[in-house]
Chains A and B, each alone.
Chain A
């Protein structure tokens, strides 16, 4: 997000190509630096987590949204965050009966716009930064979740499906004086 665009009143407009290519070079560099694709998955998740910790403040500052009171709220917030930061609106599907688990279906995911996975990298979760971001961001608002891919377009599935599971509310980290 460049500074000049913030001032001109446009909250964010940057070419998807640039975003996609930068991410691509990050992943390929990680592949060069580590031994196995599994390592890269882990690295990406960790990087995403650290991004999430910071990104959530940006989201809260710009949307002034109130605290989520149920997991449906959380799902909608994540959806609007995807709209804000990636320019796509994933659909929320496959709720578990206890309403503690849902899937985000990402059609036209900007991260994979021009990507094909070579055969030797079938273990690589190319977009593994996304579950990390979700986990980190929710942890900052005292919600612990698990997030993982169940379907991956790059591996021949029809679409990309990201599953999010609620684990617990982090009461001990709740700041006092919350409405």
Chain B
């Protein structure tokens, strides 16, 4: 089982901790000639491949570098990539590097607060179902506990105080209960190494080395054995 990342969201929906443990390397470099047979567009501050999948360059990949130089948004140095560089035959043959773009911290914060709201929406009781004896069932539903896609699974655990612990992992089917116990262990680490640190203020991002290192040990151990004993 591979864990991709661990996130902690505060009571108010702010991302207070994220830790990326494992990233899939998707970067691919190709030397291409004029005219370019890929359709590129500027989407969400990135130059993205929108059509024309080939040689491992997939739709959705972003342009990361040109001739070894990193692309910054739409620009390379002070030149516009789409208009001035790629449309200019003189620049060819050209070496382009593509890959799945890394999320920036800001994007992670946005996604975290989005998940926070989705969790709250899931918890709304849209139709109050009645039990067989006519009594109302629980007064509210719980929020999202597991979210599955075709290439990752997200497990979320909310504490009674409203802090959310999230792990994103691959889809390995072994021992589904181990995620819950892992989340509880992370909660214990949070209580021990973040909250007992007198210089950590509540609701703020966690920057505690001891927490980092203990979390890392826990995750390594979990990966090796698939169980959590600590």
Q: Which residues of A contact B (CB under 8 A)?
A: 1, 6, 53-54, 56-58, 60-62, 64, 66-67, 140-141, 173, 175-179
Contacts and interface: CB of A to CB of B under 8 A. Distances in A.
Contacts of B141: 177
B158 A177 contact: yes
A175 B11 contact: yes
B187 interface: yes
B188 A178 contact: no
Interface in B19-46: none
Interface of B: 11, 119-120, 122-124, 138, 140-144, 158-163, 184, 187-188, 190-192, 195-196, 202
A176 B120 contact: yes
B192 A178 contact: no
B4 to A, nearest CB: 23
A54 B195 contact: yes
Contact of A53 (B138, B159, B202): B202
Given A54-B202, A57-B190, A67 B160 contact: yes
A45 to B, nearest CB: 18
Nearest to B195: A54
Given A61-B184, A62-B191, A177-B144, 5 more contacts: A56-B161, A58-B195, A141-B160, A177-B120, A177-B140
B159 A177 contact: no
Nearest to A56: B161
A60 B159 contact: yes
B111 to A, nearest CB: 18
B161 A177 contact: no
A146 B122 CA distance: 34
B120 A61 contact: no
A39 to B, nearest CB: 22
Contact of B184 (A64, A67, A141): A64
Given A53-B202, A57-B195, A58-B195, A175 B190 contact: no
A141 B11 CA distance: 12
Contacts of A56: 161
Given A178-B140, A179-B142, A141 B191 contact: no
Q: Which 7 A-B pairs have the closest CB atoms?
A: A177-B143, A177-B123, A175-B162, A176-B120, A58-B191, A54-B195, A176-B123
A19 to B, nearest CB: 15
Nearest to A9: B230
Contacts of B119: 176-177
A56 B142 CA distance: 21
Contacts of B188: 61-62
A140 B192 contact: no
A58 B192 contact: yes
Nearest to A64: B184
Contact of A60 (B138, B161, B202): B161
A173 B162 CA distance: 9
Nearest to A62: B188
A168 to B, nearest CB: 17
Contacts of A54: 191, 195-196, 202
A140 B124 CA distance: 22
Contact of A58 (B140, B162, B196): B196
Contacts of B138: 179
